[in-house]
Amino acid sequence: MIPVGAIAGAAAAAALRGRGHGKANDLAPLVLLRLSVLVLVLSVATVMVLRTRDPRNAIALGPVVLLALAACFPTLVLTRVIIPLGLPRVACAVARALPPVYATQEIRGTAALFGILAGLRARTLPDETLTQLEARLSEEVNWQGTSLAAAGLLAAARGKAESARLLLAGVDDLNGRETPRVALRAARTWLVADAARRGDWRTVVSLGLERGRYLRWPWLMGAIAARFEGHAKAPSGVRTLLAWLVAPHRRATWPLLRRALWPVRDGVQEYAAEALDIEPLDIALDAHAAYLRAPSRTRLLTAAHAWNRAREAPTTHALVAKRALAMETGAACDAILQQVFETVGQDLAAHVRCVPTPMLASSYVLEMAAQTARRRELDEIDTAIKELARRKTDNVRLHIAEEWMAWLTLRKLCERHVHDASESTRRAAFVAVYSRACDHAVWLFTERGEKLLANRVFRWLLNLGRDVADAEAIALLTKNVACGDGA
């Protein structure tokens, strides 16, 4: 019986190594022990039933066999039984007492993750339960991807959406060797659901279709979003329908699927100023006020279209000149209009990133808003990178979750700034962040021992350096990446 368990344990360890778990040699003894116990229990139960030939013995040994199965396959019990029932405290206790084999390095973080996953499935999630899960997570010393995912989901349960986005985006950036699949699936699913709720279909396409690691529900949402956006990689209607059939939550996603398969035109509202006998400037002001009351992509495009018409209309210049004369101002009409359009660009800059890049070049107002957005992003990047350098110089040590959030905030700003940007813009962004970010990552690696976070910083800088073809930076960052991530 024991040799059978040993063979099974060796096979399981090899499977873990093949799936990317770098510490398969450390997990082999635990896998061997659990499978040996399972084989022993099943063998004893079978012998007892066959020798006595009494079916009542099989019924009596049933709970023992079930407990043995739960001890050997805790992830299956947690994901298929306890989490769907919405029992956060039970899930946390079971994961703590019988941790999965991949959780030996961060048991408390894994317990918190399974606890919050069960809590999110419960009808109600009291603050007391959240506090207990946060306390369990705070006891974790070796923070890896699982603990990071638990922190992100706890932040989401607390209503801290932006913190949750940053932390779970960091988890989604990791790979299967560094983070178990349950954490990766939870992070990707929440990010896709959050982006879909906000109507950010471009992000849904990126997460569901372009990031890899096929997951049924995120892939379905990515396919639906791609059809909404007219994306070049949008799957066919038949393939999208088949994905809906095999994905969970079919009832909830049916309205979105129907819109994706049978779209309804939702274009930019255009005004006929001549037919309505309304000044183009008044129409632009009304459209701008509607956008400020409830910002959306459609209202932004409508306002930009109206402002472009007002800018080109001869009556606008005459009206502004007339009002300037009535107010006895000495400013020229062109200067007043320029100031007006600068203010319009500042208002539209907050959401101009949702507009496709080709559309920006065809609109004076949208192009001005995009330039304003880039200037703001550069200022924010400069502030964030200076803060990293200050903390390194002053040796200010934040909690590891806060360190992740600080870095992910900077990365988000940089990626948004260089998205669809020119080569000179990308190079300027790399030059601005490379030196200080690299020094900060070295400090995290050597002084703090946070090798996983430091490795992600090195890898991101390496990708950015390859994009701008900086040979010296590529050589240094390649050596830094090779130092490992501690996973």
The 10 Å CB-count burial string (b at 16+, else e) for 140-156 is beebbbbbbbbbbbbbb
111 and 247 both lie in a single domain: no
Q: Is residue 214, in this structure, part of any structural domain at all?
A: yes
106 and 227 both lie in a single domain: no
Q: Is residue 133, in this structure, part of any structural domain at all?
A: yes
Residue 30: the pLDDT is 58
Closest CA to 227 of 216, 239, 215, 217: 239
223 and 171 both lie in a single domain: no
156 and 24 both lie in a single domain: yes
Tens digits of residue pLDDT in 30-80: 556 666 666 766 676 666 666 666 666 666 666 666 677 777 778 888 888
Q: Which of 47-61, 145-159, 223-237, 426-440 has the lowest mean pLDDT?
A: 47-61
Q: Which of 152, 185, 218 is the last residue of a domain?
A: 185
Q: Which of 176-180, 198-202, 217-221, 304-308 has the lowest mean pLDDT?
A: 176-180
Residue 3: the pLDDT is 46
Encoded tokens for 64:
């023992």
101 and 215 both lie in a single domain: no
Q: Is residue 363, in this structure, part of any structural domain at all?
A: no
Instruction: Look at phi and psi of residue 213 and say left if phi exceeds 0, alpha if psi is from -120 to 50, else beta.
Output: left
Q: Is residue 266, in this structure, part of any structural domain at all?
A: no
Q: Which of helix, strand or coil describes residue 392? A: helix
pLDDT surpasses 50 at 397: yes
Q: Is residue 472, in this structure, part of any structural domain at all?
A: yes
Residue 185: the pLDDT is 93
The larger pLDDT score, comparing residue 459 to residue 7, is at 459
22 and 87 both lie in a single domain: yes
Q: Is residue 361, in this structure, part of any structural domain at all?
A: no
User: 236 pLDDT band (50/70/90 cuts)?
Assistant: very high
Residue-number span of the structural domain to which 449 is assigned: 374-482
pLDDT surpasses 50 at 1: no
pLDDT surpasses 60 at 485: yes
Residue 7: the pLDDT is 43
Residue 152: the pLDDT is 96
Percent over 90 (pLDDT), the chain: 38
411 and 344 both lie in a single domain: no
Q: Which of 237, 261, 285 is the last residue of a domain?
A: 261
26 and 148 both lie in a single domain: yes
Residue matched to tokens 């178990």:
180
The larger pLDDT score, comparing residue 358 to residue 153, is at 153
User: 20 pLDDT band (50/70/90 cuts)?
Assistant: very low
Q: Is residue 307, in this structure, part of any structural domain at all?
A: yes
Q: DSSP of 117-183, one letter per residue?
A: HHHHHSS---HHHHHHHHHHHHT-SS--HHHHHHHHHHHHHTT-HHHHHHHHHHHHTS-TTTS-HHH
Instruction: From residue 169, give the alpha-carbon distance in Å to each of 174, 205, 213, 333, 416.
Output: 9, 15, 14, 48, 14
* Count of other CB atoms within 10 angstroms of residue 169: 19
Q: Whole-angstrom Cα distance, residue 413 to residue 452? A: 21
Kindly give, in sequence order, each residue whose CB lies less than 8 Å from that of residue 287, ignoring residues fewer than 6 positions away.
269, 271, 299, 302, 303, 305, 306, 307
393 and 331 both lie in a single domain: no
User: 445 pLDDT band (50/70/90 cuts)?
Assistant: very high
Q: Which of 308, 325, 355 is the last residue of a domain?
A: 355
Q: Is residue 383, in this structure, part of any structural domain at all?
A: yes
**pTM exceeding 0.85:** no
The larger pLDDT score, comparing residue 12 to residue 215, is at 215
The larger pLDDT score, comparing residue 300 to residue 270, is at 300
Q: CA angle 404-405-406, nearest 5°? A: 95
The number of distinct structural domains making up the chain is 4
242 and 279 both lie in a single domain: no
Instruction: Look at phi and psi of residue 299 and say left if phi exceeds 0, alpha if psi is from -120 to 50, else beta.
Output: alpha
Q: At how many degrees (to 10) do helices 364-394 and 423-443 cross?
A: 20
Residue 47: the pLDDT is 66
298 and 278 both lie in a single domain: yes
235 and 347 both lie in a single domain: no
